[in-house]
Structure 1
Amino acid sequence: MGGRLTQLIFAVALALPVLARADTISAAPEKVEVVVYRDRPARGADLAREDPDSAHGLALVTETRTVDLPAGRTRLSFEGVADGIIPESAAVEGLPGSLAERNFDYDLLSPGSLIAHLTDQPVHIVRTDRKTGRETSEAATVRAGPDGVVLQTAAGVEALRCSGGPEKLVFDSLPKGLASRPTLSVVTDTPAAGRYQVRVSYLSVRIDWAADYVARISPDGKSLDLTGWITLANHSAASFADAPTAVVAGRLARVPADLPTAAPQHLKTGCWPMGTSHHGVPRPEIPAPPPPPPMALMAPMPAPPGMREEVVVTAQKRTVQTDLGDYKLYSLVEPTTVAAHQVKQVQFLHQAKVGFDPVYRYDVEIGDNGEAPPPDQTIPTRLVLRLKNKAADGLGEALPAGLVSFRQAEPGAPGHELFLGQAGMRDVPVNEPFELNLAQSPEVVVRQEIVSAKQLGWGTDHRRLRAEIAVSLFNHRADAVITEVRQPQAEGLTIVAESLSHDIRDGAPAWRIALAARSETTLTYTVEFDN
C-alpha cells in the first residue's frame, strides 16, 4: 500500500509544473539614455537619404523602469524596446534574484505576419460593389501568404485583390504569438515581493550619426570660420523622448553588421496589370526632405566616472566633449527627443578666424615603363587648405571625421555667400596638422614631361627604372601662390638628382615652390624605382 501511494504521489508531482510562474509587464521606461556610434564616418547629411533597410548605425540604449514583482518565479516583459534591438547584447540590472532565461518577442503584428499566422485558418472576405457601394461578406480560408495571398472560397481558389473590385479580409481574432510592440522578457526568481528599479541596456541598429562642417572663408582668403554640427539620424520605428543623448567619435571595432531582428513582414497583394499602362515602369524617386534647421535643445548628461571632462563654453555650443578611452564622447548639454524616422542637427563646434595655408598641389604621374601624360597637356592643380589643429591657429579641439562644405562671400555683394565645394575630413586629434581638398584650379596648372626613361637591369622578381622628369608650373593668377609637386611613393624609390631640394610629406618626396603672380618655373629631378 505504501509503495503504491508513493508511486501515485510521484506521478502527480510529474504532472504539476515545477514552479508556478506569474506574469509582470513593464509597458514603458520612465527614462531612457542613448549613445550613438557611427557606421561610416564621412557621410554627413547623406544620412537623411539613406535606405532604412540598409542602415546599420549602432546605438547603446539604456532604459530605467520601475516594476512590481511578486515572490517566486516571474516572467517580466519589457514592452516597447527598440525595434532594431540586438537581443544577445541586452543586460538587465537591479533585479533582486537570478535570471532563469531571457527571450525576445520579435514576431510583430503587421499585415504580413497576420496572414502568415492564419494560413489554413478561416477568415471573411468583404467585397464592395463599385456601382452600388454595397458590401458582401463571404467565408474563406487562407491557403498561402504573405507573399501573394491565396484564398479558398465556396467558388474555388483565388488570389486576393484580383477580382477587379475593392475587397478586404476581416479576421475574427488575433492569432497567438504576435506582439504589438517589440518585447524583451526575462524569467526571474524573486526572493521577496516588492517594487524594484531596473536598468535595461541593449544595442540597437538603424540609429546613426555623422559630423557636418560649414567653413566660411574670409574675403581675404587667409582664414575661415568653422562650424560643426552633429547630424543624428533615427531610421528605426522607436522614439526616445527627452533622452540624454551622446555620440562617440572614432572607428568602433565591429564584426560584420548586425541586422535587426524585429523586421515586420510585408504583405504583397499585387495582381496582373489590369487595364494599366504603367506596369513594370519604376516610379520616380521622391527625394528625401532636407534635414530640419538647427534647433535649440533642451540637464547636462554627466560624464561617466573616471572620465576627463573638457568644457569649452561658447555662445551657441550645445555639447560637452569628454575622453572615452581612445574615443571622443560628445554629450548634448540638454536632453532631446530622438524621434522615429527623424534627422536632426545639433551644433558642437564654432571656431572663428581659423588660420590655413593654401597650397596648389600636383601629384606626378609615371607608369611602370615610364608612361606619363602628353608633355603638351595642361593639367590643373588641386587647391589644398593646410591647417593645424592648435589653439594658436584658432582650433585646438578634437575634430570627428565628416564632410566640410565651403562658402565664401561674393565679391562686391556683402552678406551674399557662394558655395565653393565639399571635402571629406578624417578624425583629427588636437595638435595634429591636416588637409582639406577644396577644388581643382584652372589658373595654376602644370605640364609634365618624361625627359628620359631607361631600364637599369633585372632582379630576381623585379626590374629597376630610371626616369628624368620635368614639371613646368604656370601661375595665371594676379597674386603669388605656393605650389607643391609630390612624387608618389614606389618600391625602392630614390631621388638621384634634383634642381631643387625636396622634403618629405606623408612619406613621399615633395617640392614646395613659390610662384610670383603671372609667372612660371620648371622643376626637374631624376628618380629610380623598382617596377
Structure 2
Amino acid sequence: MHQRSRLVIAVALASTVSFSAAVAQQLEGGTGGPDRLALTIYNQNIALVEDVRGLSINAGRVRQEFPGVSASIRPETVTLSGRGLSVVEQNFDYDLLTPSKLMQGAVGQTVGVIRTNPGNGVQTTERAQVLSANEGVVLQIGNRIEVLRDDGAPTRVVFDGVPPNLRPRPTLSVTLDAEGNPRRDVTLNYLTSGLQWKADYVARFDESAGTLDLNGWVTITNNSGSTFDNAVTRVVAGDVNVAANQRGRQRGGGTGTGANAQGDAHVYLLPERVTVANNQTKQVGLLDVSAVPATKRYLFQMGGFGSYEEAQAADVGILFRSEPALPAGVMRVYVRGSDGEPRFIGEDQVDHSPAGSDVVISTGKAFDIMVQPRLVASERVSDRRADRYRTRYQMEYRVRNATSQPVTVEVRQRTYGRDTELSNESLKGELTDAYTATWKVPVAANSETVLTATITTGG
C-alpha cells in the first residue's frame, strides 16, 4: 500500500501538461478576477461577497464566465446585476484541475510519454493509452502494458487537452441575455461559507491612574478554498437568521434574531483593505484607545438564603465604559508590577457591547477580600394584598479586607420575586432587578464591615 501511494504522488509531481491554443483559451477565457471586491463576514461561518468586474459583453444571448469566485459559494444565493443584462441560466464548476484529476480524465485516451535518458540526455517519445489511474497509472504502449513508475528516470506525460469539466479555479458560468453597449460593470453578489472572524483584546490597566489602554484585533480565518485580494472588509457583530436547511452546510451553524444585519447588529468597517489567502488566519487592527476611565470592582454574589461556615473570596474585575462599541471576544488584562514589568492578571469573554455600556472583565478571585454570609432567622409572613405567604429572611454578611488599601465590595443577594422588600438595613441597598438586591459595602484597610438586612420576598 505504501508503494502504491508513492506511485500516485510521483505521477502528480512529475507530470507536466502541454496545451493547444484552444485549451489555453479555455483556461484563460473570461475575466481573470474581480476589479473591486468587498467582504462582509458574519459570526456564523458565512460571508457576503460583492464582486464587481468591468466586462465587454456583446448583445444577444452569451455565456459569461466568472473565474475566481469562492470555492465554498452557495450558488442559490447568487445575484448578478448590470446594465442591460438578464440571467437565463447559471452553473458553478468546482471540479478543479490537478495532475491526478487530469490523469483520471485521460482514461481511455492517448497521451504522450516523454522519457529522458539520464546518461546522455536523449529524449524518447511514445504514444500510450491510459487504461487506469486508480492507485497508480496503467498504460498500454503498443503491445505491452506498463505501470508508470517512480524509478528515478525523468518522465513527462503530455496531454492533448483538458476535460471540459476541469477548471483551474472555481468558476461561475452564467448564460445572459444582453443588450446595449458591450462595455459595462457587472456586480456579482453571493454568500459563501468558510470565512469566520473573532475579536481579541489586550487591556493594560493602571489602577493608580484609574485608566486602561485598550487594543482590539479582528482575526479572520479563511477556509473557503479561495483567496480574496485587496477587499474592502466589514465584520458583523451579532447573529443573522440562517434557514434550517443551510445550517448543516455551515460548520459554525447558529440561529439569529433577524436577517437584517445592518439593522439588528453592529457592522465594523476595517480601516484598510484586506488580502486573506485560502487556509490563512490574518489579524487586522480594530481599535486602539488610551486612558479609558476604569476601576477595580470586588463582587460577592449569594445565590440563595443560607450560611457559609467559611468566608468566601470575592470576585475581582475591571469595570469600564465601552467607547466605541465592542464586538464580542476575549479580553486579556495586564497590570504593571512593582518592578515595572507587565503582569497578566486574567482574561474573560465579553459580549457584544454597544457604545456607552458598562463592561466588566472578571479576572479571578481576590483572596484577601472575603465575605461570610449568615442566615440569622427566617419566618413565613402573610401578604394580605396578594392573598399569599412570603418569607422574611434576616441576613448578615461579614466583609473582610486584608489589604493595605480601603475597598468597596458589591454584595448581591438573589431573591425570589418582584415583590421583594428591603428593611432594617445597616447600609442602604437597592433592588437592581426583579430578583437581585445589591449593597455597596465600604471596608477600611485591614478591617471588616458587617452588613445586616432583612429581605422579604416570595417563595
TM-score, scaled relative to structure 2: 0.72
Q: How does 1:92-111 map to 2 (within 5 A)?
A: 92-109=80-97
1:377 partner SS: coil
1:114 and 1:448 map into 2 onto residues whose CA distance is 75
Q: Aligned in 2, Cα 1:330/1:365: closer, same or farther, shift over 3 Å? A: closer
For residue 343 of structure 1, what is the amino acid of its counterpart? T
The alpha carbon displacement at 1:412 in A equals 2.5
Alpha-carbon contact 2:380-2:391 (below 8 Å) kept = yes
* 1:426 corresponds to which of 348, 351, 356: 351
Q: Give the alignment's Cα RMSD to 1 decimal.
A: 4.2
1:82 and 1:440 map into 2 onto residues whose CA distance is 47
2:450: which partner in 1? 522
What's the CA shift string for 1:18-47, capped at 9, x where partnerless? Answer: xxxxx994242242323333316xxxxxxx
Q: Aligned in 2, Cα 1:453/1:151: closer, same or farther, shift over 3 Å? A: farther
Q: How does 1:67-146 map to 2 (within 5 A)?
A: 67-109=55-97
What's the CA shift string for 1:66-96, capped at 9, x where partnerless? Answer: 3333332211111110112121221111152
1:337: which partner in 2? 275
Alpha-carbon contact 2:313-2:368 (below 8 Å) kept = yes
1:378: which partner in 2? 311
Matched, 1:248 2:236: yes
2:290 partner SS: strand
2:325: which partner in 1? 398
1:510: which partner in 2? 438
1:265: which partner in 2? none
What's the CA shift string for 1:377-418, capped at 9, x where partnerless? Answer: 2311111322234xxxxx4x22222221111112123xx211
* 2:52 corresponds to which of 53, 57, 64: 64
1:280: which partner in 2? none
1:187 and 1:139 map into 2 onto residues whose CA distance is 36
The alpha carbon displacement at 1:448 in A equals 2.3
2:43: which partner in 1? 39
Q: Aligned in 2, Cα 1:332/1:350: closer, same or farther, shift over 3 Å? A: same
Alpha-carbon contact 1:106-1:179 (below 8 Å) kept = yes
The alpha carbon displacement at 1:198 in A equals 1.3
Q: How does 1:478-493 map to 2 (within 5 A)?
A: 478-491=404-417
Q: Aligned in 2, Cα 1:466/1:60: closer, same or farther, shift over 3 Å? A: same
The structure carrying a bigger strand percent of its residues is 2
TM-score, scaled relative to structure 1: 0.63
1:112 and 1:353 map into 2 onto residues whose CA distance is 59
Q: Aligned in 2, Cα 1:497/1:142: closer, same or farther, shift over 3 Å? A: farther
1:410: which partner in 2? 337
The alpha carbon displacement at 1:477 in A equals 0.8
2:187 and 2:362 map into 1 onto residues whose CA distance is 46
* Structure 2 residues without counterparts, runs of 5 or longer: 1-25, 112-127, 141-146, 252-260, 383-387
What's the CA shift string for 1:247-297, capped at 9, x where partnerless? Answer: 233433333537379xxxxxxxxxxxxxxxxxxxxxxxxxxxxxxxxxxxx
Q: Aligned in 2, Cα 1:38/1:30: closer, same or farther, shift over 3 Å? A: closer
2:397: which partner in 1? 471
What's the CA shift string for 1:342-379, capped at 9, x where partnerless? Answer: 2222323222221123221111032xxx6x5x622231
Q: How does 1:110-509 map to 2 (within 5 A)?
A: 175-191=163-179, 194-218=182-206, 220=208, 222-255=210-243, 257=247, 259=249, 324-366=262-304, 372=306, 375-389=308-322, 395=323, 397-413=324-340, 416-453=341-378, 466-491=392-417, 494-495=420-421, 497-500=423-426, 501-505=428-432, 507=434, 508-509=436-437
Aligned residues: 394
1:487 partner SS: strand
Query: % of aligned pairs identical?
Result: 28
1:358 partner SS: strand
The alpha carbon displacement at 1:117 in A equals 7.3
